[in-house]
Amino acid sequence: MDAIAEALTREEHGHGPSIVVGSGGIMAALARSISDQPPRTPGPQRPSGPVLAVSASASSTTAEQINDAVSNGWEDVPVPAELLQRDDTALVAALDERVSAALRAGRNVVVHTTRGAADPRYGASKPVDAGYLGALIGGIAARMANAALTRDIAVCGGDTSSHALIAMGVRQLRVTDQFVTAGPILNADGASAVGGCRLLLKGGQVGPNDILRRFAGQLPS
């Protein structure tokens, strides 16, 4: 990635606008190639209260990250399989109540639609629309933030995070701190449901196994 970024930023390539299509890895490499500053090491994360993580990723990496969080005391809140296929007001209300009760008790919470491809919900479900899943998990995060139960939210799943942001009413994001490659800490615009919240948006394959605990300040960054 660094070699590609260096080639892209050489003077002979600087005669007009360029478009680079790629992952967050090339973004980070381009930033390194044009900066004379050493890479920043993120400081310890300091959440203002309990952390809420919402995930619609089926990747094995995210599954391990959820497993790490749950095995270290996070409240485990699986989304019911029925809710993956159809909207159900009663099921959503029950899910909200469980999440809000844990946050009120000061517990970090992870809400997930699957814990990897081995999860029975993943194998048994029909294809699920990414927009629906994103709106589902984003809606949970928005309601918890609106209720002032959390100001620190992680969204796991590249395909669904944009839909989750729409459900939160987010129109602008500002990078506030480097965290992991392709996973910076962000703040949303004040008009959104999560305005002023500390956000982590990460793709399914992004980050170390303990990323959620690091985001929650339970481990050094």
pTM for the complete prediction?
0.84
Phi, psi of 180 (to 5 degrees): -130, 160
Are 137 and 55 within 8 A, CB to CB?
A: yes
CB atoms within 10 A of CB 117: 11
**pLDDT tens, position by position, 75-124:** 999 999 889 888 899 999 999 999 999 999 999 999 999 998 788 887 66
For the cut 80, the answer to whether the pLDDT of residue 10 exceeds it is no
For the cut 60, the answer to whether the pLDDT of residue 193 exceeds it is yes
Place of tokens 């479900």: 125
Confidence of residue 72 (pLDDT cuts 50, 70, 90): very high
The reported pLDDT for the residue numbered 46 is 87
CB burial of 128-147 (b: ≥16 within 10 Å; e: otherwise) equals: bebebbbbbbbbbbbbbbee
Chain mean pLDDT for the chain: 88
Domain 51-215 has CATH 3.90.180.10: no
The pair of three-digit structure tokens given for residue 74, joined into one six-digit string: 């996070």
Q: How far is CA 82 from the centre of its chain?
A: 23
Place of tokens 């196994």: 209
Are 20 and 84 within 8 A, CB to CB?
A: no
Are 76 and 110 within 8 A, CB to CB?
A: yes
Strands 51-55 and 152-156: parallel
Please tell me whether residue 167 adopts helix, strand or coil conformation: helix
**pLDDT tens, position by position, 144-171:** 999 999 999 999 988 888 899 999 999 9
For the chain, where do the domains classified as CATH 3.40.980.20 start and end?
Answer: 51-215
